[in-house]
Amino acid sequence: MSHNRILPTKDSWKNLKEYHIDEEVGFVLPTPQEELPYPYDQWISIAKNLPELIDKNELRKEVEKLKMVGIDDLKDHKSQRLAHLVLGYITMAYVWNQGGEDVCEVLPKNIAVPYCELSKKLDLPPILVYADCVLANWKKKDPNGPMTYENMDILFSFPGGDCGKGFFLVSLLVEIAAASAIKVIPDLLNAVKCEDHNTLQRALRYIASCLKQAQEEFKQIHEYVDPNTFFNVLRIYLSGWKGNPLLPEGLKYEGVWETPKKFAGGSAAQSSVFQCFDVLLGIQQSSGEESSFKFLQEMREYMPLAHRKFLQSLESAPSVREFVISKGDAKLKADYNECVKAMADLRKFHLKIVAKYIVIPSKNKHKANSTSEETSEPENKGTGGTSVMTFLKSVRNTTEKFLLNVD
């Protein structure tokens, strides 16, 4: 990136590492594990062959043959994260199978029991979350090469060819670009505490440049993800069973709970990085639409526990916004506004992407099926279960309200 780097102090990194935040990739799981030992290798074997098994309509049969195994031998964090990713993929494939026309309402106990036990240990829900399919689902082709799309791949795929690779890796690169700014947060907060204007201004400019770079990375979605494939093939496998008419009662986890449970599918709202900068900049989504704020708060439960704790720690930190307002410095206000504007611009761009990848394909599908009584309303919901355009417009509008007047 073509901006001046601000290097954090060693002490500040001690604090960030406690929250599972990596110096290079932020909230992303660094160098994810790719294999699991016996007996968990049976899960890996199915997950690596999902598209082929689904295409042959053999996926459910293979899952039902799996032996029940406990999770006690999954001792380290990376093994547990890989297992959660793999079981999430298998669960989504089992439920939606060949695209949602033959939905399964019960997850068999040989998967449900270990999945729920592991989820409890990680304090994550038993469904494929953003922390799985984006943050822990990648590798470098050349370990010594750069973190670029060309040198990266995903560990597991759904049907839809390279569409999933494009969607997950572009999301990952957006995350990493924005996460570069996390390294200056401890020094930024210290600058507020010590009333060090110069360090604060440099930190704000660095954060704004990282957020702008995140939008540049986001633009790669046009190159690597086909709208029709995303909407008609991949999207169903990312959908959850909360607010979903295909599973109105939720999913029954056999051998775990007596009644079905409702969980939201993976969503960008589950990304810790953007909620992190909302909190840091004092952008209070609670001042906007109540339903949008409640959804964002709910999505924190789908984040890794350490990341949730980091957001909570930021909420109790000194207010950057109040400090900037209290000083009445036009240059400081302008630098703060650049950060808020970069957040708003990212959300505007996200709206355009949703229009291209969900709203327009939904309308096209509805036109093609216009003789049926089916409405297109469910199609305009995000994988997290919200009315996606309404939610994103609300979040964008609230973000813009936090721009400061500069005299």
Binding residues: 350
Q: Coil, strand or helix: which one is 267?
A: coil
What 186-192 contacts at long range (C-beta under 8 Å, 24+ apart), as own/partner pairs, is 186/8, 186/9, 186/11, 186/12, 186/13, 186/15, 186/16, 187/6, 187/8, 187/9, 187/12, 188/280, 188/320, 189/317, 189/318, 189/320, 190/12, 192/318, 192/319, 192/320, 192/323
Q: Binding site for heme b: what residues are annotated?
A: 350
Which amino acid makes up residue 151?
A: N
* CA pair distance 309, 77, nearest whole angstrom: 17
Strand partners, 107: 253
* CA pair distance 28, 303, nearest whole angstrom: 11
Burial class (CB in 10 A: 0-12, 13-18, 19+), 11: exposed
